Amino acid sequence: MGIKSFARLVRVNKAIRVLRKPQRSLTQVYLQAGYCDLSHFIHDFKSICGITPQEYRDNVSDYYSEIAKF
């Protein structure tokens, strides 16, 4: 993995942690993750995760925030 790909992965990972805080806007998320603009953030996030940050927040993060799944 190249340095650019690794840096992108680190920034998206940071964004995922911030996305789990529902009080944070998408603007706050991409700025805290080190992105300069929303479109670049969405592009990188979708290329790594397969869904947009908003789709992640609406669907996936609920699954992982539950205490127990049976």
Q: Please, are residues 35 and 19 in contact by the beta-carbon 8 Å criterion?
A: no
Which CATH number do you get for residue 18? 1.10.10
Q: What is the pLDDT of residue 23?
A: 87
Q: What is the pLDDT of residue 27?
A: 92
Q: Please, are residues 55 and 27 in contact by the beta-carbon 8 Å criterion?
A: no
Residue range 11-68, pLDDT digits in tens: 999 999 998 888 889 999 999 999 999 999 999 999 999 999 999 988 875 555 555 4
| Count of the separate structural domains present in the chain | 1
The pair of structure tokens assigned to 43 is: 């592009």
Q: Is residue 30 part of a domain?
A: yes
Q: Please, are residues 50 and 41 in contact by the beta-carbon 8 Å criterion?
A: no
Q: Please, are residues 52 and 45 in contact by the beta-carbon 8 Å criterion?
A: yes
Q: Is residue 38 part of a domain?
A: yes
Q: What is the pLDDT of residue 57?
A: 87
Q: Is residue 70 part of a domain?
A: no
Q: Domain limits at 61?
A: 3-65
Helices marked H in 1-70: 3-19, 26-32, 38-49, 53-55, 61-65
